[in-house]
Amino acid sequence: MVDTVKKADGIGLAAPQVGKSVKLIVINLEKNGIPLFPMYNPRIVSRSFKKLEIEEGCLSLPGIYGLVKRPKGVIIEAENSEGKTIRIADEGWVARVAQHEIDHINGKLIIDLIKKYSQGEELTKRWRTADTQIEN
């Protein structure tokens, strides 16, 4: 999965996208200074009231982009590769990518959420670093 997400220059990948029925996602935000990390059994335990509508794309749906509204901030619990529970509170890209990838695990794709399709030009413009706290 790490190879796949890097080769595709993707920012995240969920196991169902590579034909695996396990609850595993990989977040690849190395370009934003966040080391690549896996999350096993990720679940969202809290969502902010504030929502953001941001353009998203998907490695499984090449060429399809659209505005997707999601909570701005989430708290996620997951297990790391050592099986230790981690808790991540984020309001930036980690929150956004994790919500997208967790949807994959639950069989939901952006085409289920897009209300307005777009051209993909916003994605690169909106790239920004997130304030991320990883608590063990």
Which spans of this chain sit near Zn ion (rule: CB under 5 A)?
58
Give the Cα separation of 136 and 125 in Å (integer): 32
Q: Quote the least distance from Cβ 111 to Zn ion, whole Å.
A: 10
Give the Cα separation of 112 and 21 in Å (integer): 20
Residue nearest to Zn ion (CB): 58
Give the Cα separation of 118 and 93 in Å (integer): 20
- Give catalytic status of residue 91 as yes or no: no
Give the Cα separation of 134 and 114 in Å (integer): 30
Residue tagged active-site, from 101, 121, 122, 135: 101
Judged by beta carbon, residue 58 or residue 114, the one nearer Zn ion is 58
Q: Quote the least distance from Cβ 30 to Zn ion, whole Å.
A: 18
Indicate which residues carry an active-site annotation. 101
